[in-house]
Chain A
């Protein structure tokens, strides 16, 4: 996996959409892959809960015959958390404050999700292990 490319996608999304405060990418089973989050955020916990939430939402849409799950958005009084599936094996969590334009976020996220999926599943053994931060 090209860690630099993943970091650039996460950072680029935050710079592109005003109001994004944090992003994280995790495996579908809740294993955190990378996080661009404030220190106050429990990254591992966020990844685990996001995976669980996305799984529940997927089952809900399935049981309710609502087609394919597109995303989940959880709203709080001080912002929201949006979870997107990245292909079939990963997910991305985006946290935003009250100013975040959620529709704009969805529009900006779609192409980024495709690119992130390609980065995560790229067959490049040389760049599989890149422990340094970018």
Chain B
């Protein structure tokens, strides 16, 4: 089945839902086992068993692992240990329960929330095409399948809910920045404080959801409300991408042409490993000189050495 870049967001209606709905209805009827790949932005993959959805993955929403790690429920080190114990399994559910990082019911809820969130992200974005594929095991399958129809209904309801807000916002397109002084507003919830801290004009609600370890729907709604209350502002023009001072000073094209061709040449590695302290100022260069990065100018070595000495 194919479509032509149908957009689930905005005035064009929820045509994206319709595109996916027809495919998933057929899957449910035929008790299809396999995956349905949705091409688009952000797109995603739905995994089905016997016509029921057991997992949905999308670049547009945090999966169960990101939700657990980013929310701080499980640390990076704990997760790595669980994965090792599970023989490399990307979803060490048994270990999470055995170590009491989460209960079995909690994990089911996390998986279901992530699944619904991913469908919301898919249908809120641009859908180019849907196609079935042979089964590929999902990273974090839910033990109980969910009706595709119910999932889409839920996503449809969520899209409608966001659109009825005073300042509706697209999950993955519009970027916001904290309004001046917004962080001093009284009575901010923990989520709002986090969103204000991370809303730098470069990030969408989707980006903020990943950063804060929350569902993309919940963050989209909160961002829309904060826009309505004047705590956040929509960014029409993204912040400029400046040339680095050294590149701006010297020009780039001619100098790059003068660089030796890349090969098994150790220059850059030596620079990164150079223990020299950072140069206070980029040396003034003659117009004909090739701008060269000063060894140690980034201060990375000091940072690494400092961490090494702390570790030892």
Residues B253 and A18 in contact, CB atoms below 8 Å apart: no
Residues A120 and B268 in contact, CB atoms below 8 Å apart: no
Q: Using A44-B298, A51-B271, A121-B257 as known contacts, say yes or no to A98 and B210 having CB atoms under 8 A apart.
A: yes
- Contact among B172, B243, B263, B271 with A58 in the assembled complex (CB-CB below 8 Å): B263
CB distance from B216 to the nearest CB of A (A): 9
One of B47-55, B105-113, B244-252 at the interface: B244-252
Assembly CA distance A47 to B268 (angstroms): 10
- Contact among B202, B238, B256, B264 with A121 in the assembled complex (CB-CB below 8 Å): B256
- Contact among A1, A19, A77, A132 with B251 in the assembled complex (CB-CB below 8 Å): A1
Residues B240 and A48 in contact, CB atoms below 8 Å apart: no
Residues A128 and B253 in contact, CB atoms below 8 Å apart: yes
Q: Using A59-B264, A100-B59, A120-B252 as known contacts, say yes or no to A28 and B259 having CB atoms under 8 A apart.
A: yes
| A131, closest chain B residue (CB) | B248
Residues 78-121 (chain A) with a chain B CB within 8 angstroms = 78, 85, 88-90, 97-101, 104, 120-121
- Contact among B41, B243, B255, B263 with A18 in the assembled complex (CB-CB below 8 Å): B41
Residues A78 and B247 in contact, CB atoms below 8 Å apart: no
A67 neighbours in B (Cβ, 8 Å) = none
Q: Using A28-B268, A44-B298, A99-B59 as known contacts, say yes or no to A78 and B251 having CB atoms under 8 A apart.
A: no
Q: Does B7 contact A (CB under 8 A)?
A: no
- Contact among A47, A62, A125, A129 with B264 in the assembled complex (CB-CB below 8 Å): A62
Residues B253 and A120 in contact, CB atoms below 8 Å apart: yes
Q: Does B18 contact A (CB under 8 A)?
A: no
Q: Using A55-B262, A97-B207 as known contacts, say yes or no to A78 and B69 having CB atoms under 8 A apart.
A: yes
B257 neighbours in A (Cβ, 8 Å) = 89, 121
Residues A11 and B238 in contact, CB atoms below 8 Å apart: yes
B249 neighbours in A (Cβ, 8 Å) = 129, 131
B41 neighbours in A (Cβ, 8 Å) = 16, 18
| A10, closest chain B residue (CB) | B241
Q: How many A-B residue pairs have CB under 8 A?
A: 193
CB distance from A33 to the nearest CB of B (A): 5
Interface size classification for chain B: 35 or more
Residues A124 and B253 in contact, CB atoms below 8 Å apart: yes
B125 neighbours in A (Cβ, 8 Å) = 18
Interface size classification for chain A: 35 or more
Residues B272 and A52 in contact, CB atoms below 8 Å apart: yes
Residues B247 and A32 in contact, CB atoms below 8 Å apart: yes
* Contact string against B for A residues 12-43, beta-carbon threshold 8 Å, 1 for contact and 0 otherwise: 00001011010000011111111110110011
Q: Does B42 contact A (CB under 8 A)?
A: yes
Residues A88 and B262 in contact, CB atoms below 8 Å apart: yes
Q: Does B93 contact A (CB under 8 A)?
A: no
Q: Does B307 contact A (CB under 8 A)?
A: no
Q: Does B156 contact A (CB under 8 A)?
A: no
Residues A55 and B265 in contact, CB atoms below 8 Å apart: yes
A7 neighbours in B (Cβ, 8 Å) = 240-241
CB distance from A43 to the nearest CB of B (A): 7
Q: Does B233 contact A (CB under 8 A)?
A: no
- Contact among B80, B200, B262 with A39 in the assembled complex (CB-CB below 8 Å): B200
Assembly CA distance A19 to B66 (angstroms): 13
Sample of 21 A–B contacts (CB below 8 Å)? A21-B207, A28-B259, A29-B292, A32-B244, A35-B241, A35-B244, A42-B299, A45-B299, A48-B298, A55-B264, A62-B264, A97-B210, A98-B62, A99-B61, A99-B63, A99-B206, A120-B253, A121-B256, A124-B253, A128-B254, A133-B241
A54-B262, A120-B253, A133-B241 known; 6 new pairs, CB 8 Å cut-off, are A6-B241, A29-B271, A43-B244, A48-B298, A99-B66, A130-B243
Which 5 residue pairs spanning A and B have beta carbons closest together? Answer: A133-B240, A128-B251, A45-B298, A52-B272, A133-B242
A residues adjacent to B (C-beta < 8 A):
1, 3, 6-7, 10-11, 16, 18-19, 21, 27-36, 38-39, 42-45, 47-49, 51-52, 54-56, 58-59, 62-63, 77-78, 85, 88-90, 97-101, 104, 120-125, 128-134
